[in-house]
Structure 1
């Protein structure tokens, strides 16, 4: 199965209905003059017909903008504790369908601008999020198609590089202002055991999540990753896989929902956050990592350590050349990783995906930065340990050509064998190249074919090796 925009669920077009919407603004104004429930019914009927009309991109966009204003009008009556009627939930679903249809028209056009595409993706996602929220508010199970389309919109945004394009859309309850944040706001709401919320708490929680929702990150899937974040299958019709559910989808569509930065931010001062919102967030956070909140037991631990940052510096350190180091404070540890606090000025050197070597009282440990978060205390880093012995190596494209620094990660396995992984700067070599490899302790070189990378970050890639 492949993800494609054409899989978006949209209603069929019925050409003959187009003429009946020529005086749309007058009909919407007449609907507002009716009692609230009757006006809502009339607006929904008009939108239902519009979504099944053949229209140009500009006509559909203008009509949907008009309906967005009508949506704000009718939504104002349900921002408090009042649960919305089923009609309003249907209105949210039809608004999502309209913007999904508009998105298909944009994608079928010629070179859409990123802001325009981001706006349409965001609006479609927003009304899917509202449909989800209102189902939870009414304690109804959301339809599976809602999650299929939500995942697909995120996938399209990821492919089109507009996940973080800011969108100005003033809706209540408050939504995150980027597609990434809005999508993750949905995921967090779904992970918060929403059917156990008291009446009126679902919209309150949704709004409380808005300023925090962009902090987590969906990381590419890695079988060796032992972090505790939920698993998202973008090709599946559910928000996340159950804790006991083994992922069986295509690796390209699997993501690990890394919550580390969000969990720290929850404890920071938030002047605009009400006491009720704070208590609600604290209550639901236990559900975000499942009932078994951590795969590894975390131990609070306070000690100093030294960091060697980046592959070239690690290579030099392993050769005892004493490259520049920085200090950090270990806050807690587990068998799978650790949380550190370091100087905020080091932020530029410590992006997510950076390779580190931890130096302390024990054997040096290779690690990757999984998440980061900056606050008044400094820069918090979530590290994933890379088990194995790190050794410096040199790579050449020919026996006497220029040398390139690499790090060999070697892990013992049962039967006196070893698993080897070769760390190189991302993009320096490509799959299929034959490289001449030389260990620091040996004078001879071995020819190794470069297999497909099995772990990739924006900075480094790891390639599995078979060594005699």
Structure 2
């Protein structure tokens, strides 16, 4: 399945049942004067007709804003521990439908502004998250379509570059204020064994996660990455793949849910945090990594080390040119990676996805920054080791053209031969471009067409190479 915004689940338009907007606000006001159940039924009936009527973008947006205000009013009655009635859950679903249809109108029209698109994506995701949350609160399995559409909204936000656009939305329980945070907020609830929570704990957990969920990250899938953590398939009808479930979809739609920074942040001082929320977060975090055993046992190790940051500096270090190094303290390590404590001044240089060389007095280790979290202690950094021998390389677009630095990562293959991966700065070259590759100590240059990348971050890209 190819991810496509047009696959969002929305009902067909019914031209013969067009809704009149002239007195919509008056009808909504009249509904408020009715008993709660009757009022919900009337509001739901009005919204049902609006969602299936043809409207201009502006008409639909204004109508949905009115219904969102009504939602806040009716949601206030369900802030205690008792689960809401089915009518309220249905209202959340219809509001999600409305904003999904509005999103389709925005995407099919002129180029929207990023804040407008981010707002619409966020509102659709919010009401999908509320639908999921209320199903969990009622101990009902959510319909598969809710997760399919949630994943798709995240994917659209990723491709439209508005995952981190802040949105001011006053709802209860409190949602995160970006699309990324909101989507990850409900993912974490789903991973928290929600059917085993006591009554009222599900929305309380959702609210407790609001300031924390954005610290987690969905990272590009790499089959060589054996770090523990949930796997999300953006084409599936479930929050994450089961730990016994092997990913079999297109890798471009797979993400690794990295929780390292979030797990560190849970232990930070939070004087304004409700004690019950802190207890609840401590209770559920053991579920987030499932029952999976660690791929590599972790060893606590307090030892000084140094980092060489960025591809250009690593290239110089491998040539023994002694570029600047950043001191750090290793807190624990395993064959798969390490956790470091660094100076906060390095935060701007040590972004997630940055390439780094770890120097511990023995063999230098090439690594990727997997997660980071800054608190009063300093900058906590999670490194993923990249197996193999790193070597400096030079790339040229012609035999005598300007040189560009690269890092060749070589790993012995089972039997005989080597696997090679060429690390280059993101966006420096394009797939299919013919390049001249030269290694230290070699006068000849090998000509190679740049293949499709098999791993990319915001800083670097890795290309698999076949070399004699």
Query: What is the TM-score when the length of structure 1 is the normalising length?
Result: 0.97
Name the residue aligned to 1:393: 393
Name the residue aligned to 1:96: 96
Any residues of structure 2 matched to 1:295-306 within 5 Å, and which?
295-306=295-306
Any residues of structure 2 matched to 1:202-281 within 5 Å, and which?
202-281=202-281
RMSD value, Cα: 1.4
Give the Å deviation of 1:440.
Answer: 1.3
Any residues of structure 2 matched to 1:60-75 within 5 Å, and which?
60-75=60-75
2:54 and 2:451 map into 1 onto residues whose CA distance is: 50
Q: For the structure 1 residues 171 and 394, does the alpha-carbon distance in structure 2 shift closer, same or farther, using more than 3 Å as the test?
A: same
**Kept after mapping to 2: 8 A contact 1:230/1:256:** yes
Q: Runs (4+) of structure 1 moved beyond 3 Å?
A: 19-22
Give the Å deviation of 1:133.
Answer: 0.7
CA displacement, residues 144-184 of structure 1 (integer Å, 9 cap, x when unaligned): 00001111111111111111111111000000011111011
Give the Å deviation of 1:402.
Answer: 2.1
Between 422-431 and 280-289, report the one with greater CA deviation. 422-431
**Kept after mapping to 2: 8 A contact 1:261/1:373:** yes
Any residues of structure 2 matched to 1:32-431 within 5 Å, and which?
32-292=32-292, 294-431=294-431
CA displacement, residues 327-347 of structure 1 (integer Å, 9 cap, x when unaligned): 111111111111111000011
Between 287-296 and 68-77, report the one with greater CA deviation. 287-296
2:291 and 2:310 map into 1 onto residues whose CA distance is: 36
**Kept after mapping to 1: 8 A contact 2:228/2:292:** no
Give the Å deviation of 1:71.
Answer: 0.8
Name the residue aligned to 2:449: 449
Query: What is the TM-score when the length of structure 2 is the normalising length?
Result: 0.97
Between 183-192 and 447-456, report the one with greater CA deviation. 447-456
Q: Quick check: 1:440 aligned with 2:459?
A: no
2:295 and 2:330 map into 1 onto residues whose CA distance is: 20
- The alignment of Structure 1 onto Structure 2 pairs a total of residues equal to 468
Structure 1 unaligned residues grouped into runs of 5+ = none
Give the Å deviation of 1:431.
Answer: 2.3
Three-state SS of the structure 2 residue aligned to 1:405 is strand
CA displacement, residues 371-426 of structure 1 (integer Å, 9 cap, x when unaligned): 11111111111111011111122222333332222222111122231111222222
CA displacement, residues 271-292 of structure 1 (integer Å, 9 cap, x when unaligned): 2211110010011001111112
**Kept after mapping to 2: 8 A contact 1:286/1:293:** no
Q: For the structure 1 residues 67 and 293, does the alpha-carbon distance in structure 2 shift closer, same or farther, using more than 3 Å as the test?
A: farther
